[in-house]
Structure 1
Amino acid sequence: MAKLKRGGIEPHEDYGFFGPGSVVWKVWGYPTAPTVGFQRAVVVEELDPPLVAAVHATQGIYRRSRTRYDRTLKYFAMVAFAGSRQVCKAADILVKVHSKAIGHLPYGGGTYDANDPASQLWIQLTGWHSILYAYEKYGPGKLSPQEEKEYWEACALAAELQTCSPDDIPRSREGVRAYFERMRPKLSASPIARQAMNHLLRSELILPPTPRWAKPASLAVAKAQRIATIATMPRWMREMAGIRQSRLLDILIVPVMKAGFALARISPKVELRLLGRISPSTVAVVAPVKLGIPPRKEEVLTPAQARARHGYAKPAEAHLEFRARQAARVFDDGEAPSEQGLDESQEILGPLA
């Protein structure tokens, strides 16, 4: 982490899709985002049967918990903070990565496909909702009405980097609540969902090895994050998943986390060092923003402008032939899908191991 000097940080090419003064930089730049907010998102996502089927089939969260968290968090941070070319490239390769996450649902019949627009919509909304929820509960508090309107408009803009349609993104808190109510009957705490949720709540799995003398403190931090994340989950969801936590803990954890996150905000370098412990690959994405390093071009683009400039297709229309070959391998030939997309992604999202 000695590279956390202005001269050692590579500036982004441009401001990407949001930029200084945006509500996205305000909310996603707070330390609640890569910790409680992101953990809540990946835990809640597992209640969707197609999504957890894909997660279970790849076994990535179990075999490489730390790198999986690192790579996924890096992608979401790139959408918020990185230059437009870098984000378009990451969104494009992610379609190829997801092309291997296809198969037959283990319960109830049917198939799953990680590139399915409905699955991508679920990921998009649980992610953006969880980041905002954690910011409100453990950070500065609720956004103004205008800021919240801007936030959900930004969520729709970011959806253009997924295979789902931005038209399906609600533009208000009420609309988001209505979406989750429509999804509720479709959710299921299957055995593989419960297994995944409990695994993802083990915050200690994403931390680097620590000296024996530091382990008690490390485990205490991980335990506090687990309590804080569970405290953001509604009771019906916890009951469905068999996750137990007292109301007293829900209350007591709030001032502890508020104080901890406020303390981390004292210094950008402290924030980046803490981020480096849970997601080393994400530091280079966030550092230019935290350290005030301007991009080479001080401009903000739309995803459509960026795709036209950098030569990328819409994610929903990307790599159709490759995705068809993957489907044929799995559903027609009964073979394992190609790892090509996953291998190619390492240059962009970070190593697999």
Structure 2
Amino acid sequence: MAWMKRDAVEPHEDYGFFGPGSVVWKVWSYPTSLTVGFQRAVVVEELDPPLVAAVHGTQGIYTRPRTRYDRTLRYFAMVAFAGSHEVCKAADVLVKVHSKAVGRLPYSEGTYDANDPASQLWIQLTGWHSILYAYERYGPGKLTAEEEREYWEACALAAELQTCSPDDVPRDRAGIRAYFERMRPQLSASPIAQQAMKHLLRTELVLPPTPWWARPAGLVVARAQRVATIATMPRWMRAMAGIRQSRLLDALIVPVMKVSFALVHLNPALELLLLGRLSPSTVPVVAPMKLGVPPRREEVLTPAEARARYGFARPAEAHLDLRARQAERVLGDGRAPSEQGLIESETILGPLA
């Protein structure tokens, strides 16, 4: 296919916020990241009551599972690999997209808001932790102490692209563990959380239509990814969510996935081909890195430098008027929120249908 040829790949404008030699590129470029790591992140996230209320309120994962998966995975990859201007635009429009995800909590008093800093911090840390954990379990193994420090510093840097504060991001594994321990009493496997988690584990829902003769192979791959993702989840979390899997399967899937990912990683074109099955819109984001296509400007910026250069506000301060109007429409007037952010996002994150 044309997009797998190096000379046909569109270069990014710069290296974005990390670049070659960074631990982010080392971990996120391994095929564990945008498969098991990503799936684990979106599944575990649903245990947070405000977040799953927002997910349930929009219904996107049920009404358009393939495009929702595609767009979300594209954004994940953009943060790590895309150019700084492109990422800033995506982060900015994502605030608008999240502005429509407001409402009242279904199982307790209070409201939810997808732009709430606490929800955004939960998304950030579950995402970066899941990517790293999948790399350790099914990839090359643990990072060195120095690499791990760099990884969590990078996580804090990336948090500047969300409405949470980088100051709230732990800088080491002990801090991450302490954060999840603090969150544990707040987590809940409500009916809508269990529904969402089990739905998001069905990898086959995001695969494209295939000829009848190829469907069995697709189902085997989807099943293997499901088993591998569940095997990374703590048993207390599985019990809470009603997800069952034997210790034998947990053990057996490790060598299968380690060998499979290692073989795929030997061939960048094959990695892109398989990624295109899961998320076509993510391929142009990852291809320049995979195929060694240098950007137009070989520089790495910080989010603050990029915002100053391109004129974007910090996400926490962006689109406050729209966010207030959306909250008033939903919580004050009882009307459906505006689709403004979703419509604008199509040119950046991919089509909605």
What does 1:47-196 correspond to in 2, within 5 Å? 47-196=47-196
Q: Distance in 2 between matches of 1:330 and 1:65?
A: 24
Q: Report the equivalent of 2:284.
A: 284
Q: Report the equivalent of 2:274.
A: 274
Q: Report the equivalent of 2:15.
A: 15
CA shift for structure 1 position 205: 0.6
**What secondary structure does 2:112 align onto?**
strand
CA shift for structure 1 position 2: 2.5
Cα displacement string for residues 162-216 of structure 1 (whole angstroms, at most 9, x for unaligned residues): 0000000000000000000000000000000000000000010111111111111
**What secondary structure does 1:112 align onto?**
strand
Q: Distance in 2 between matches of 1:7 and 1:80?
A: 22
Matched, 1:203 2:200: no
**What secondary structure does 1:155 align onto?**
helix
Q: Distance in 2 between matches of 1:257 and 1:7?
A: 32
Aligned residue type for 1:92: D
CA shift for structure 1 position 251: 0.2
For the aligned residue pairs, the C-alpha RMSD in angstroms reads 0.5
TM-score (norm 1): 0.99
Q: Distance in 2 between matches of 1:3 and 1:195?
A: 36
Aligned residue type for 2:287: A
Cα displacement string for residues 210-269 of structure 1 (whole angstroms, at most 9, x for unaligned residues): 111111111001000000000000000000001000000000000000011001011110
Q: Distance in 1 between matches of 2:200 and 2:348?
A: 24
Q: Distance in 2 between matches of 1:3 and 1:342?
A: 27
Cα displacement string for residues 102-123 of structure 1 (whole angstroms, at most 9, x for unaligned residues): 0000001110000000000000
Q: Report the equivalent of 1:308.
A: 308
Q: Distance in 2 between matches of 1:54 and 1:221?
A: 30
Q: Report the equivalent of 2:297.
A: 297
Question: Percent of aligned positions with the same letter in both sequences?
Answer: 81
Cα displacement string for residues 84-117 of structure 1 (whole angstroms, at most 9, x for unaligned residues): 0000000000000000000000001110000000
Aligned residue type for 2:271: E
Q: Distance in 2 between matches of 1:68 and 1:127?
A: 16
Cα displacement string for residues 280-316 of structure 1 (whole angstroms, at most 9, x for unaligned residues): 0000000000000000000000000000001100000
Q: Report the equivalent of 2:231.
A: 231
Matched, 1:252 2:238: no
Aligned residue type for 2:85: R
Unpaired runs of 5+ residues, structure 2, are: none
Q: Distance in 2 between matches of 1:248 and 1:97?
A: 42
Q: Distance in 1 between matches of 2:220 and 2:78?
A: 29
Aligned residue type for 2:121: L
Unpaired runs of 5+ residues, structure 1, are: none
What does 1:216-227 correspond to in 2, within 5 Å? 216-227=216-227
Q: Distance in 2 between matches of 1:331 and 1:56?
A: 16
CA shift for structure 1 position 3: 2.3
CA shift for structure 1 position 4: 1.4
**What secondary structure does 1:160 align onto?**
helix
Aligned residue type for 1:269: A
Runs of 4+ in 1 over 4 A off after TM superposition: none
Aligned residue type for 2:16: G
Q: Distance in 1 between matches of 2:272 and 2:73?
A: 14
Aligned residue type for 1:126: T
Q: Distance in 1 between matches of 2:321 and 2:213?
A: 53
TM-score (norm 2): 0.99
Q: Report the equivalent of 2:339.
A: 339
Q: Distance in 1 between matches of 2:43 and 2:174?
A: 22
Aligned residue type for 2:259: A
Q: Distance in 1 between matches of 2:328 and 2:239?
A: 39
